[in-house]
């Protein structure tokens, strides 16, 4: 009997012993004399089921999970069929069926380092189509797709590219912002570990479009697996002529490399990222000049999030209209939402914009992992607002969340159960800002420290400190140079506004 | 872990690292990562040589080294435990793991045990937010960590 099995190599699977599962599969196969073709794929995104092992039978993949190394022998006994861990055909699982996977179409499906598998699943079609277009035609395609920056700012990607294309310079750059530091987000990591060629293809299209010949992936050091996979993929792409002096024989030169960050959260902000890339302190730059005009080493630079760039190939493969026709209002296309924290079914869920927060948390996420009621949901990372259940009807979209005093950021959704102490979370937001502030502007550098002290005063029962905290937040919002100091008030003020009991009751308890 | 080469070799080895990065645009961070991979920290003795090679002031270089959490000015312990302190891990019981790590090792954040066996660092997100609490031990990520799993990890490296 010959078997084709898939054991993920995504960091979220490796962190729960996927490597030992893979070893156990090979060892067990050897004992039994079974021929096994073992594919190390990315993750399907159903992270509560990791390690999720799949067997391919008659071209259909069947899932088993979560598999521990000691389950492997029994799974072989059951011939990877009827077993307590069997979940049925992977694509038929409700979580998968409800998604629209465009950016993540290949993630978890293919061996991330097989360029052959990449092409067999639609890869390089976008780049080949782009090579037949002029630069301005490519810009039009991007504008028509409606793609906006997936890092959180939501700026239209096509307009940014247009600026760089029109800028006159001897050298231009494409920079992928892979400094995914927001808690509750892992989409960049999963894409780079599960389908690195999509990022390479997207950056190559961007480079050819705007006339940039060199690209950098600024990748955080906390993601060793992503660094490894991305570097391997670049090496393979170069060996196959996808990168280099003449991309796919087109005559256009484009090459790229990975640069590793050094543990500074603020380097996810594009101007401090550029300083870091240049070898400086990761201090924020004042804008203007925009990076599109004066970016890396003073040259015109496209700085886009990994997901934005990783979505470019599918836009060119299927056409801008196909992408644009998904979505809601001014939020076009799909968004890979990361459902995390205290949630029963956590993972990566790509869907068209417009799903309500409540559907994401209760239906798709299945409520809390602890079984206790949901108290708050933080959307958009450490700088995102805490939403109470009363706002669960908010549809997932840039403007829709903004309208409720929040932001979608990089689309991380972190669920907290009723044990969460919202005063403690507000304090943590200020503490985090103090630790990670680059120090350039006063409202952020000093405001964050004073913020921690002020929250501590409230915790001790000093109600006079509450208006002081709101006032401080206003100063940080209006006076900070970048989103770190400017958005830290979101979690703080939303916690205060939606969960006042955690602030006032605390005060009363302490006073009594 | 291999014993770090004596600092006596510093000039030669550093020279090789600098030569490797001669064609690099914005070479300082890659150089510092390479230096730290070689010696486990960024030795003071290396700073004037790097500054000279890149034609930047020593003050500027110090500013860069001290800005980033990753770069160490002194060697760490033989092992390194990084515990995620970010919100998603907190929502899954991360605070208990943080407290347990500090209590078991008897040290606070950024400290090294008296035997030099373990350094404890906070980390803000390892991207394992649906399977937290998460830690990183010597560069290997581990998720779904509770106190028992933490004990097992520490026992593995005898810390």
CATH of the domain at A469: 1.20.1440.230
Per-residue model confidence (pLDDT) at position A1: 62
**Could you tell me if A332 and A320 lie in one domain?**
no
Domains held by chain A: number: 4
Task: For residues A311 and A331, state if they share a domain.
Answer: no
Residues A37 and A156 in one domain: no
Residue A237 lies in a domain: yes
Do A302 and A347 belong together in one domain? no
**DSSP at A92:** G
pLDDT grade for B6, boundaries at 50, 70 and 90: low
A127 with A17, same domain: the answer is no
Distance from CA of B97 to the nearest CA of A (A): 15
Question: Is residue A257 domain-shared with residue A374, that is, in the same domain?
Answer: no
Domain ends where: A324, A351, A372? Answer: A324
**CB of A60 closer than 8 Å to CB of A54:** no
CB within 8 Å of A441: residues ≥ 6 apart = A284, A479, A480, A481, A482, A485
- Write the CATH number for A81: 3.40.30.10
Rg (CA), chain A: 24
Residues of A in contact with B134 (CB under 8 A): 15
Tracing tokens 């796919």 back to the chain, one arrives at: A248
Instruction: Name the residue of chain B whose CA is nearest to A221's CA.
Output: B70
What residues of chain A lie within 8 A of the CB of B30, using their CB? 259-260
* Together in a domain, A120 and A252: yes
Which of A417, A433, A450 is where one domain is finished?
A: A417
Q: Residue A385 carries which DSSP code?
A: P
Best of B34, B53, B88 to substitute, by most chain A Cβ atoms within 10 angstroms, is: B88
Residue A441 lies in a domain: yes
Q: Among B70, B91, B130, whose Cβ lies nearest the Cβ of A262?
A: B70
pLDDT for B9 equals 83
CATH number of the CATH domain containing A251: 3.40.50.11540
Q: Given this model, what pLDDT does residue A2 score? A: 85
Looking at the domain assignment, is residue A215 inside a domain? yes
Per the annotation, binding residues of B for [2Fe-2S] cluster are 84, 89, 125, 129
Cross-chain Cβ contact B91/A339 below 8 Å: no
Residue A180 lies in a domain: yes
For residues A165 and A207, membership in a common domain is answered with yes
Cβ atoms of residues A65 and A216 within 8 Å: no
Instruction: Give the mean pLDDT of chain B.
Output: 94
Tell me what ipTM this predicted complex has.
Answer: 0.95
Task: Assess whether A171 and A285 both reside in one domain.
Answer: yes
Predicted confidence (pLDDT) at residue B1 exceeds the cutoff of 50: no
Evaluate whether residue A102 is within a structural domain: no
pLDDT at B8: 65
Domain contains A109: no
Q: Do B124 and A50 touch (CB under 8 A)?
A: no
- pLDDT at site A508: 52
Nearest Cβ partner for B127 among A223, A276, A277:
A223
Q: Give me the domain span that covers residue A268.
A: 115-324
Same domain for A242 and A348, yes or no, is: no
Chain A closest CA to B116's CA: distance in Å? 23
Is A61 among the domain residues?
yes
Nearest one of B45, B44, B11, B15 to B31, comparing CA atoms:
B15
From first to last of its 512 residues, chain A has per-residue pLDDT tens of 689 999 999 999 999 999 999 999 999 999 999 999 999 999 999 999 999 999 999 999 999 999 999 999 999 999 999 999 999 999 999 999 999 999 999 999 999 999 999 999 999 999 999 999 999 999 999 999 999 999 999 999 999 999 999 999 999 999 999 999 999 999 999 999 999 999 999 999 999 999 999 999 999 999 999 999 999 999 999 999 999 999 999 999 999 999 999 999 999 999 999 999 999 999 999 999 999 999 999 999 999 999 999 999 999 999 999 999 999 999 999 999 999 999 999 999 999 999 999 999 999 999 999 999 999 999 999 999 999 999 999 999 999 999 999 999 999 999 999 999 999 999 999 999 999 999 999 999 999 999 999 999 999 999 999 999 999 999 999 999 999 999 999 999 999 999 999 998 664 554 44
Q: Test A279 with B131 for CB contact under 8 angstroms.
A: no
**What are phi and psi for residue A233, nearest 5 degrees?**
-65, -40
> What is the least distance, in Å, from the CA of A225 to any CA of chain B?
9
Based on the domain organization, do A498 and A382 belong to the same domain? no
Q: Of the candidates A391, A417, A443, which is a domain's last residue?
A: A417
- Do the domain assignments include residue A476? yes
Give yes or no: residues A251 and A311 share one domain: yes
Set of chain A residues whose Cβ sits within 8 Å of the Cβ of B124: 181, 183, 265, 382, 432, 435-436
Check residue B5 and give its pLDDT: 53
């Amino acid at each position: 009997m010959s078997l084709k099995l898939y054991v993920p190599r995504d960091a979220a699977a490796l962190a729960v012993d996927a490597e030992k599962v893979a070893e156990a599969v090979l060892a067990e196969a050897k004992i039994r004399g079974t021929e096994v073709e073992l594919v190390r794929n990315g993750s399907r995104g159903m992270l509560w089921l990791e390690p999720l092992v799949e067997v391919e039978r008659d071209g259909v993949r069947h899932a088993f999970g979560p598999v521990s190394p000691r389950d492997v022998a029994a799974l072989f006994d059951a011939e990877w069929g009827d077993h307590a861990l069997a979940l049925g055909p992977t694509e038929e699982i409700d979580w998968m069926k409800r998604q629209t996977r465009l950016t993540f179409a290949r993630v978890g499906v293919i061996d991330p380092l097989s360029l052959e598998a990449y092409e067999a699943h639609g890869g390089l079609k976008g780049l080949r189509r782009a090579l037949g277009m002029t630069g301005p035609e490519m810009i039009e395609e991007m504008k028509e797709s409606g793609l906006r920056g997936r890092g959180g700012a939501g700026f239209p990607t096509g307009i940014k590219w247009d600026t760089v294309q029109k800028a006159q310079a001897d050298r231009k750059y494409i920079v992928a912002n892979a400094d995914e530091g927001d808690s509750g987000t892992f989409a960049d990591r999963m894409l780079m570990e599960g389908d690195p060629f999509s990022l390479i293809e997207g950056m190559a299209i961007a480079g050819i479009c705007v006339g940039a010949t060199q690209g950098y992936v600024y990748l955080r050091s906390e993601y060793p697996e992503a660094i490894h996979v991305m570097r391997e993929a670049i090496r393979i792409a170069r060996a196959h002529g996808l990168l280099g002096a003449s991309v796919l024989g087109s005559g256009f030169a484009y090459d790229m490399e990975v640069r590793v960050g050094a543990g500074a959260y603020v380097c996810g902000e594009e101007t401090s990222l550029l300083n870091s890339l240049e070898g400086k302190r990761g201090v924020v730059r004042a804008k203007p000049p925009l990076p599109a005009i004066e970016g890396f080493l003073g040259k015109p630079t496209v700085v886009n999030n990994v997901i934005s760039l990783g979505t470019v190939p599918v836009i060119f493969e299927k056409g801008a209209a196909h992408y644009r026709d998904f979505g809601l209002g001014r939020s076009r296309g799909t968004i890979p939402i990361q459902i995390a924290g205290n949630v029963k079914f956590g993972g990566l869920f790509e869907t068209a914009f417009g799903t309500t927060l409540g559907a994401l948390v209760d239906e798709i996420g299945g409520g809390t992992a602890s079984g206790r009621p949901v108290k708050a949901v933080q959307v958009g990372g450490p700088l995102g607002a805490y939403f109470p259940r009363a706002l669960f009807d908010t549809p997932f979209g840039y403007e829709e969340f903004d309208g409720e005093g929040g932001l979608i950021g990089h689309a991380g959704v972190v669920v907290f159960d009723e044990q969460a102490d919202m005063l403690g979370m507000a304090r943590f937001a200020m503490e985090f800002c103090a630790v990670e502030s680059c120090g350039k502007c006063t409202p952020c550098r000093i405001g964050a420290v004073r913020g921690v002290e002020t929250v501590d005063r409230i915790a001790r029962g000093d109600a006079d400190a509450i208006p002081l905290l709101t006032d401080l937040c206003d100063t940080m919002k209006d006076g900070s140079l970048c989103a770190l100091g400017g958005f830290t008030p979101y979690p703080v003020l939303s916690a205060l506004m939606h969960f006042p009991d955690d602030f006032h009751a605390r005060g009363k308890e302490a006073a009594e | 872990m291999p014993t770090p080469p004596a600092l006596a070799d510093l000039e030669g080895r550093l020279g090789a690292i600098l030569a490797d990065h001669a064609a690099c645009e914005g070479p300082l961070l890659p150089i510092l990562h390479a230096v730290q991979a070689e010696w486990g920290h960024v030795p003071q003795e290396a700073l004037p040589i790097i500054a000279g090679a890149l034609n930047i002031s020593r003050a500027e270089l110090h500013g860069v080294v001290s800005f980033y959490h990753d770069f160490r000015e002194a060697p760490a312990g033989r092992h390194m435990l990084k515990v995620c302190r970010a919100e998603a891990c907190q929502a899954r019981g991360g605070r208990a793991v943080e407290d347990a790590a500090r209590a078991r090792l008897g040290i606070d954040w950024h400290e090294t045990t008296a035997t030099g066996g373990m350094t404890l660092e906070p980390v803000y997100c390892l991207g394992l937010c649906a399977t937290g609490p998460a830690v990183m031990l010597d560069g290997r990520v581990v998720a779904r960590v509770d106190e028992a799993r933490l004990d097992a990890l520490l026992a593995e490296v005898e810390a």
